Amino acid sequence: MKTVVQILAFILPFNSLSAQEINKDSAWIVNNYYKIERKISMRDGIKLFTSIYIPNDSSQKHPIMMTRTPYSCAPYGENKFKSVWNSNTKRYFLQKYIIVIQDVRGRYMSEGEYEDIRPYNPKAHRNSPEGYLEGAIDEATDTYDAIDWIVKNIATNNGNVGVSGISYPGFYSTMAALSGHPAIKAVSPQAPVTDWFIGDDVHHNGSFFMMDNFHFDYSFGRPRPNPTTEKAKGFSYPVLDNYDFFLNEGTLKNLTKHHMGDTMKFWNESMNHPNFDAFWKARTVTYHLYNVQPAVLIVGGLFDAEDCWGTWNTYKKIEKQSPGTINKIAMGPWYHGGWAWSDGSHLGNVQFGKGVSDYYYENIEMPFFNYYLKNEGGIKNSAEATIFITGENKWHQFSEWPPKKLETKILYLNEQSALRFTKPITSSGFEEYVSDPAKPVPYTEDVHLKRTSEYMTDDQRFASRRPDVLVYKTEKLKEDMTLTGPVIADLMVSISTTDADFIVKLIDVFPDDFKYPDSLHVKYPMGAYQMLVRGEVMRGKFRNSMEKPEPFTPDKITEVKFELPDIAHTFQKGHRIMIQIQSSWFPLVDRNPQQFLDIYKCDEKDFIRSTIKIYHHAQSASCILLPIFKK
């Protein structure tokens, strides 16, 4: 959902192109395509601004590739072409696709009122069991109406439409799959915004992702009275240290009062809906993924900081709720949208090898669309799930996800900071720390302003040295251990207050003498590197229900159990598995005052220390459930 996706939704890795090569490719596209702009009427009369790039070649019919975006289809003007020669869109141009990019309702040059994650409206669809309401709209109907106009008015189209997009455009792609238009043959929601309370962008398990949302909403959330080609200005931070800025602001209420006011609609709606209520449920598209007609390719990054949850769960919901749908998933070692604007060879300090993104485009995305839109190739019989397993650093194909050959093994927290596959036998035992909101645990070691993508694989040694982070690790592994699927944290805890957050991090500890080959030019000391494989937060009061939060009884042993998004990672022989547990992750996640109250309305005085105990004895054994892949 962040600003990087304001680039066209299909963006290719930025290879080093000479000026001569860029000009050559640019000239090819200008010489072989022409562009038209149209304002397409929707069923309620609202007109949506649409840019259409059409091949000059009229000797054959061409498929259509569409992206609907809230991030602008600029440049505006029929004589102005998008810079596609260094983007993955070039692949579609070279294969003579008709390229359609549309400003969604209420954004940039389209008319109407914008609504964040506009809810799916069953009554807008004629086959709805709830009854049809003439003139009702949602993003699915807007897609239907736009495509209906395009296939009827662009003479050289072959009647086959694909829809794709990354992040927010991924959400619009999911909605396109629900539109019911017969011309839509294939859809690819990529890193799709899916559930803004449980696991994507805005919240994770009820915890507010403060830094990202403040940065995003300050510009994206500004009201737009009239259609415009201009992007809203972002926030001017007084300091370049996000930890310092957000800590000094103190509370979410202060952020609202000092900077957001009453004009930032979605920010204020978020502040007024602290629980998983009807507001958030209406914006959860997975509730409606039944009878999906087009073929679907879900794409995402294993280290996506924004919409990793949405990628996995869009796939899983279609599998469960629409079993007749051709539904495939591809996951690589990418950050948010990384397949589109990186070669995928590394993230931060961690290396994955060459050709990762090229493999994806050449073997997955292009064959998928070419099969369904051009009747080329045999992608229909390809693997259900094509997943890159990090650590091993290889692509694998599976007939389903998670794979059939799984064994759930329980990794228990033990005394002396040990992780073992045997349950503790002692009758007592715990580790404790004091969680102090005045000194929250940072999410990364560096001082910076914007949230990094690299934190998803960052070295966690900085955190393991803090007294308010518990650290448990195994002995050196005697053989490789591959995990493929969701990880479950099952903690037995007590706290001295009535609420707290629990962040669990699964970490791969490299051997002390580990180093990459000199040819990779990795200068960072990789010996004993603590690679974050997956981290997730649970706001404690939502441990039993996202709809009805419950306070903790101080000092009472309580279970906190939650799921971390799926992983695909091999802990290699000689490495160790580490678990870190903490109660703040700042400023990635807003601070919990550690009292049972409305965090969006609380004051500085409400933030208090809490003594957190994590138990590891026979009667209260904290553990992590691992999905072990048996080859």
> Domains of the chain (ranges plus CATH)?
3-195+283-398 (3.40.50.1820), 406-629 (2.60.120.260)
471-530 residue pLDDT tens:
999 999 999 999 999 999 999 999 999 999 999 999 999 999 999 999 999 999 999 999
Average pLDDT in the chain: 94
pLDDT (0 to 100) of residue 12: 32
Distance (Å, whole) CA 58 – CA 74? 26
SS3 at position 89: helix
Residues in the chain: 631
Divide the 631 residues of the chain into consecutive groups of 10 and give the mean pLDDT of each group.
Answer: 39 37 70 96 98 97 98 96 80 95 98 97 86 93 98 98 98 98 98 97 98 97 94 95 98 97 94 98 96 97 98 98 97 96 96 96 95 86 92 97 95 96 94 98 96 97 98 98 98 98 98 96 97 98 98 98 98 98 98 98 98 97 97 78
pLDDT (0 to 100) of residue 20: 52
CA distances from 609 to 146, 462, 504, 579 (A): 55, 22, 19, 23
Distance (Å, whole) CA 217 – CA 197? 16
DSSP string, 485-508: EEEEEEEEEEESSS--EEEEEEEE
pLDDT (0 to 100) of residue 85: 72
The sign of the CA dihedral 366, 368, 371, 376 is positive
Distance (Å, whole) CA 233 – CA 154? 36
pLDDT (0 to 100) of residue 24: 61
pLDDT (0 to 100) of residue 380: 61
Distance (Å, whole) CA 160 – CA 409? 46
The sign of the CA dihedral 592, 593, 595, 599 is negative
DSSP string, 296-348: EEEEEETT-TTTHHHHHHHHHHHHHH-TTS-EEEEEES-STTHHHHS-SSEET
Which pTM does this prediction carry?
A: 0.94
SS3 at position 442: strand
pLDDT (0 to 100) of residue 19: 47
What is the rounded (10 degree) CA torsion for 446, 452, 454, 457? 80
Do strands 418-420 and 406-414 pair parallel, antiparallel, or not at all (unpaired)?
Answer: antiparallel
Indicate the burial class of 223 (C-beta count within 10 angstroms; 0-12, 13-18, 19 or more): exposed
Do strands 481-495 and 610-617 pair parallel, antiparallel, or not at all (unpaired)?
Answer: antiparallel
155-188 residue pLDDT tens:
999 999 999 999 999 999 999 999 999 999 999 9
DSSP state of 256: I
pLDDT (0 to 100) of residue 11: 32
CA distances from 592 to 201, 372, 435 (A): 18, 48, 10
Cα–Cα nearest to 505, from 530, 479, 482, 483: 530
SS3 at position 109: coil
